[in-house]
Structure 1
């Protein structure tokens, strides 16, 4: 009897060992644990319902998947947007930055390579303008900043279980509440602004 039980145990263990590579190879994607993403961005900015102005930049995202569905993340990005004098009271090359903390929901299935997602985040948005001009007069360096709320969606396509190509679109709304021009600062403002960011990049789960 004991020998029969031992034989069954050995057989079961052998099956587990034999099937382990099959199970592992069946996992085509992941969303758990630490992830690091780098993206190239196409950006647009609209201020006070004016014309849409476009530019580009780079973004860095660090996330942690608490489970297969939910990932918390920190996102930092910067873009340059060209604003002509006719479109704004402050003209020049606007350096647009976002710093956000948020959550992403994955429609995850480890047995497929493509994983769509939706996300939301809150944070700060700022603009810095070097060699700015106001009404065609030199104004030095001018900066804007204020709170922002973002929502987005995207798709990750896994080339390996640890590496994915990623494309996402995010809309950000909010206001610029402060303007700083050297020795002069204006606060408690309410300048509406909306930005879109389309990013294409790679994500790594180390």
Structure 2
């Protein structure tokens, strides 16, 4: 269980989230849809341990997120190019985490040759798929997906979401999906995390 307990997030003097509490179970899919500037991306960073909340706790099975080992909560950000070392191949970045098989590459529409290239040699859509691949390490228990298919063609989007839903059911993998597309969230998520006056400003 991924738990967010009484979390407050302030940034630049602005309260983005206040007294936010919810839980994400393995196999569950929660959607987050709100206007720009409400702190959706910042919330994703906090849940994955990339950024500390102003106050409150983020816990996995009632324990703090690990600091010096693989984190069971993985974030695929809206701008994945910022998370890759520009001087290493994308394959090196993936293999630091795990070694996916050819079937997984195919289902994500990834050309194996892309893994021999550096991030700057790939398009945004290609790099987005590799970021998803990296986050699907078998050790990952919770996935924070921040607009992860926004740069992709509709047919590829459908295939990727089908794979992620299968992973949610098989592992089971808990997933929090951040998107501006309410229709997408309605299709793939079992419930929504609402941004209200009591939780987000």
TM-score, normalising length from structure 2? 0.21
Between the two structures, name the one with larger relative contact order (CA 8 Å, sep ≥ 6): 2
Specify which structure has the higher proportion of helix: 2
Specify which structure has the higher proportion of strand: 1
Structure with the greater alpha carbon radius of gyration: 1
